[in-house]
Amino acid sequence: MTDAASRPAPPAPVSAVQALALEQGAPPPLEEVRHGVWSLAFPFGDGDYSLGYLIEGSDGALTLIDPGWDDDANLDRLDAALADVGHAMEDISLVAVTHLHADHLGGADRVRRASGARLALHAAEQRALDRRAAEALEADADIARWGAPADDEEALVAAWGSGRRLPHVTADLLLADGDEPPIAGRRLRAVHTPGHTAGHLCFVEPEQRLIVTGDHVLPRINPGIGLGGRTDANPLTDLLASLERVIALDVAGADALEVCPGHEYRFVGLAERARALVDHRADRTADAAAALDALAAEAQRPTVWQVAERMSWTGGIASLHGYRLGSALAQTEWHVQALGRAGELRPSS
Ligand SMILES: [Zn+2]
């Protein structure tokens, strides 16, 4: 769900065990981040993992941010982690998720059933979950418009359109920007950061100088955009505004926020990393502009595919298939729209 790594040097890890785990391709062990705040890894796929966070309230109740991929092994991992910190499943009173992707939200319903916790997410994320079936058909129409080679279309529909099978879940508590989920003795604030998905949330704990960033800001990976359902807004425009929002939250020096991301490792330097992500997007927009210029010089009214073909992709556009190709073509169109040049594209027939 991410693009290739960016050029500027990534921020240094704060957590040595997480950095080592990344190097060795193994999930890092449970780690205490602050008093009453722990990070834990939830494996998924082929050696990948996401990072979740347990936060203890002054009443002993726990909040779990991002329960990870949905499987038995991850519930066992959570059980073991809880025992390690002197807690049990019933102590989890709230499961909060940064966004709807299966490696973050996936296990939410399983943990909710096991613990009796309430599930909280952003209202836009719930809307996206509720609209998934209808949107899949609209995504099929996008695929037809993009003009990808016929060989790719079937795989695109399977992975990006109506062929996608996505789980549904209903939250108990809908969060909006600025809301503080109920945690005794702590002020954890939800910050709406649309872009990666429309209802993506970060959670900031100003007193502890912590921010849980989900997939909005990661230390080395450039998160993809618009991967959480259709919106009226351009996800690229949303992302750039959301990056500015977290840049404004960071303070340089001793009061700098420590970033608790959804993957990789914790780091300090949120503003700098967010600026690198802004720059990465500016590069992609410039790439799209150059492709449009070249095609205009050939007096062509291109399809989205033809623009994407001339942009640079890690491994080249021909190496992308299914979901990754769908994401690349959608991103191409958003970059073209952000340039105000959508009118240069060939209209759908
Ligand atoms: Zn994600």
Is the model's pLDDT at 14 over the cut of 50? Answer: yes
pLDDT for position 173: 97
Ligand 1 midpoint to CA 104 (Å): 7
Alpha carbon distance 40, 266 (integer Å):
12
Question: Model confidence over 127-172: pLDDT tens digits?
Answer: 999 998 788 888 899 999 999 998 899 999 988 888 777 778 999 9
Cβ partners under 8 Å of residue 129, min gap 6: 100, 166, 168, 169, 170, 229
Cβ partners under 8 Å of residue 318, min gap 6: none
Ligand 1 midpoint to CA 87 (Å): 28
Ligand 1 midpoint to CA 196 (Å): 7
Is the model's pLDDT at 348 over the cut of 80? Answer: no
Ligand 1 midpoint to CA 101 (Å): 5
Ligand 1 midpoint to CA 225 (Å): 9
What residues flank ion ligand 1 with Cβ within 5 A? 1, 101, 215
pLDDT for position 349: 64
Q: Which of 212, 151, 147, 140 is nearest to 181 (CA)?
A: 212
Q: Which of 109-113, 233-237, 298-302 has the lowest mean pLDDT?
A: 298-302
pLDDT for position 7: 64
Ligand 1 midpoint to CA 48 (Å): 13
pLDDT for position 4: 46
Ligand 1 midpoint to CA 293 (Å): 32
How many angstroms from the chain centroid is the CA of residue 146?
Answer: 24
Ligand 1 midpoint to CA 46 (Å): 16
pLDDT for position 162: 84
Ligand 1 midpoint to CA 85 (Å): 28
Ligand 1 midpoint to CA 226 (Å): 10
- Counting Cα atoms < 13 Å in the Cβ hemisphere of 341 gives 21
Ligand 1 midpoint to CA 86 (Å): 30
Ligand 1 midpoint to CA 202 (Å): 12
Fold held by 2-127+167-271: Metallo-beta-lactamase; Chain A (3.60.15)
Ligand 1 midpoint to CA 294 (Å): 33
How many angstroms from the chain centroid is the CA of residue 306?
Answer: 27
Cβ partners under 8 Å of residue 147, min gap 6: 303, 304, 305, 306, 346
Ligand 1 midpoint to CA 56 (Å): 25
Alpha carbon distance 64, 192 (integer Å):
18
List the Cα angle 70/74/76 in 5-degree steps.
130
Ligand 1 midpoint to CA 216 (Å): 8
Q: Which helix (H) or strand (E) holds 41?
A: strand 37-44
Cβ partners under 8 Å of residue 233, min gap 6: 194, 198
Ligand 1 midpoint to CA 131 (Å): 18
Instruction: Give the mean pLDDT of the chain.
Output: 93
Report domain extents, the chain.
2-127+167-271, 137-163+281-344
Is the model's pLDDT at 2 over the cut of 70? Answer: no
Is the model's pLDDT at 272 over the cut of 50? Answer: yes
> Dihedral, CA atoms, 312, 314, 315, 316, nearest 10 degrees?
-20
> Dihedral, CA atoms, 287, 289, 295, 299, nearest 10 degrees?
-170
pLDDT for position 137: 85
Tell me which amino acid residue 198 is. A
Ligand 1 midpoint to CA 186 (Å): 26
Ligand 1 midpoint to CA 182 (Å): 25
